[in-house]
Amino acid sequence: MARKINFYAGPAGLPLPALERAQKELLDFENTGMSVMEISHRSKEYDKVHNEAIELTRELLGVPDNYKIMLLQGGGNLQFAMLPMNILHGGKKADYIVTGQWAKKAFKEAKIVAGDNARCVCNMEGEKFNRLPRPEEIKINPDAAYVHICSNNTIFGTQWKNWPDTKGIPLCADMSSDIMWRPIDVKDFAFIYAGAQKNLGPSGLVVAIMRNDFLEMCSDKLPSMLQYRIHADKNSLYNTPPCFSIYILRNVLAYNKSIGGLGAIYKNNLKKGELLYGCIDKHADFYKPFVAVKEDRSYMNINFFLPTEELTTKFIDEAKKNNMVGVKGYRDVGGIRISAYNAVSVSDIEALVSFMEDFVKKSG
């Protein structure tokens, strides 16, 4: 059966070589006579996979030695609560920059945990999240224990290219939908977390990266599963980890390394954006982008509208006939959303752009 060109926003497509490796090893992993889903998480065979996934994360992102890498469960949504639970004890306060649905949910969970000690210092919802704030619109409080952002807006299609100036306050970021899309300087952050299901692997796994001094601020008065200190100390093996998800993460990261790492991935993502936004801008009277400011456009999630709902439905149906799935816009936005995560190739976007060019002609 032919593989589809997968534009779903998440869970999303994974690199084919990573899946083929899993297929080859599924019934007999490392000559154990068992699947990696069946062997003990304390076995030397699994331990090798677990540590390789952590080491590859450190290598590809250039994570300094004074950061711990944790492989957690519960998705990004648990991190929305777990972060303030760990840090906002003893009256500490935090600032939230709300630029989309997931940033809004992170702030909501922080309010549940910390009440008024969780503060929204900028909210773009009044403009329907169609741009990012300018520096003068963000008012960071000097007493904040951290500032929280969401680096990429999966639903509405904005993306931070330059991080906000937090005036020395530790910066925390939900990078679920664009982690490893390009090289970054991890030292800019006290804490990074990312649900795996868009750029890294299957759902159910979170990659979390925390600076040691920030980790020392974490509470030790929480239930054990909610303490970052314990997960860091136990190398993410305090309880049975999501072994298969971590195994697939290892496969994806090993493949990413083999093709040249994040530098090569970034080059591909820039080319994909150039092709797709080039087509949208070329036909600006037909494809209307949702994001109002060009420099705020996401390279991971690209939203646009067609002139009528009828044409939108036709576009989705015709795309499916052309082997492309997942192009329907999010229910609160409508239109078309193309999620062009790392596993989406330049040739996939070339096929999409060719389809879009033909669709304009046929609809004219």
Does pLDDT of 362 surpass 90? yes
Confidence of residue 275 (pLDDT cuts 50, 70, 90): very high
Does pLDDT of 58 surpass 70? yes
- pLDDT, one tens digit per residue, over 228-260 is 999 999 999 999 999 999 999 999 999 999 999
* Three-state secondary structure call for residue 129: coil
- The class that CATH gives domain 16-258 is alpha beta
pLDDT of residue 192: 99
The residues pairing with 173 across neighbouring beta strands, listed in sequence order, are 149, 192
Residue ranges of the alpha helices (H) in 32-146? Answer: 44-61, 75-87, 101-114
Overall average pLDDT of the 203-220 stretch: 98
Give the per-residue SS3 of 233-265: HCCCCCCCCCHHHHHHHHHHHHHHHHCCHHHHH
Environment class of residue 321 by beta-carbon count within 10 Å: exposed (0-12), middle (13-18) or buried (19+)? Answer: exposed
Domain boundary assignment for the chain:
16-258, 261-363
Q: CA angle at residue 218 from 217 to 223, to 5 degrees?
A: 160
Residues identified as active-site: 102, 174, 198
- Which is nearest to 255 in space by CA: 35, 40, 53? 53
Average pLDDT, rounded, for the chain: 97
pLDDT of residue 1: 62
- Which is nearest to 143 in space by CA: 188, 210, 107, 91? 91
Does pLDDT of 28 surpass 90? yes
- pLDDT, one tens digit per residue, over 124-159 is 999 999 999 999 999 999 999 999 999 999 999 999
- pLDDT, one tens digit per residue, over 82-126 is 999 999 999 999 999 999 999 999 999 999 999 999 999 999 999
pLDDT of residue 78: 98
Environment class of residue 34 by beta-carbon count within 10 Å: exposed (0-12), middle (13-18) or buried (19+)? Answer: middle
pLDDT of residue 264: 98
Confidence of residue 41 (pLDDT cuts 50, 70, 90): very high
**Would you say 142 and 101 are in contact if contact means Cβ atoms under 8 Å apart?**
no
User: Which helix (H) or strand (E) element contains residue 5?
Assistant: strand 5-6
| % residues pLDDT > 70 (the chain) | 100
What superfamily in CATH does domain 261-363 come from? Answer: Aspartate Aminotransferase, domain 1 (3.90.1150.10)
Does pLDDT of 364 surpass 90? no
